[in-house]
Homo-oligomer: A and B are copies of this chain.
Amino acid sequence: MSSISIIGSGNMASAIGALALKGGNTVEVIGRDADKARALARALGDGATTGTWGAAPTGEIVILAVLFAGAVPVVSEYGEALADKIVVDITNPFNADATGLAVGHDTSVAQMVAEAAPASTHVVKAFNTLFSHVLGAGDPVDVFMAGDDPHAKARVAAFVESLGHRPRDAGDLSMAHWLEGAGLLEMGLARAGLGFNFSLGVNA
């Protein structure tokens, strides 16, 4: 069981929040728009709470469920309020037509978030290769992860298992670049005829 704070109130926040509660975790929803955060917490039910924007989240694991362009600004704004937290970056930095990444070729949103966060914050990339409706559909899927801190990755892996999904460790945080690229690859597969009801996974 984990304590989870979710910054954001969109489709991924909703899908992860619902699965988290079902899996016996506690969930706090935080939004810059407090009304939206309250609405999501109410919709989730099951004891979901709301937190105060900018204050230290109550969760051990903080899911950064904002649009990619907001990830670094939000983490910068939070500053020391994220000290000692595990921050999970789920974003996909697609360019306008989802044919390329809108970040530098030797970095990733996750690495940029790690640079912006306090030194005691551990950043893990995860969930970005999953469409929210596929993540929430119930069938077990592979959740690829990348991060530099083994303990933080183990905590996120346990959380992923509580959701009924399979954690798949891809290595250190520099692999986040290729996980973001895998998100792009999925967009290519979708456009080339596969549609959006699938996920990349491991066949072993």
A154 to B139, CA, bound (A): 31
Q: Main SS of chain A's interface residues?
A: mixed
- Choose from B144, B170, B188, B199 the contact partner of A175 (Cβ within 8 Å): B188
Contacts of A146 in B (CB 8 A): 188
How many residues on the A side are at the interface (Cβ–Cβ under 8 A)?
A: 35
Decide yes or no whether A33 CB sits under 8 A from chain B.
no
Beyond A170-B188, A194-B204, A199-B203, 16 additional contacts (C-beta under 8 Å) are A139-B203, A144-B185, A144-B189, A146-B188, A170-B185, A171-B189, A175-B188, A177-B181, A178-B181, A178-B184, A189-B202, A197-B204, A198-B202, A198-B204, A200-B201, A201-B201
- A residues adjacent to B (C-beta < 8 A): 99, 105-106, 139, 141-142, 144, 146, 168-171, 174-175, 177-179, 181-182, 184-185, 188-189, 191-194, 197-204
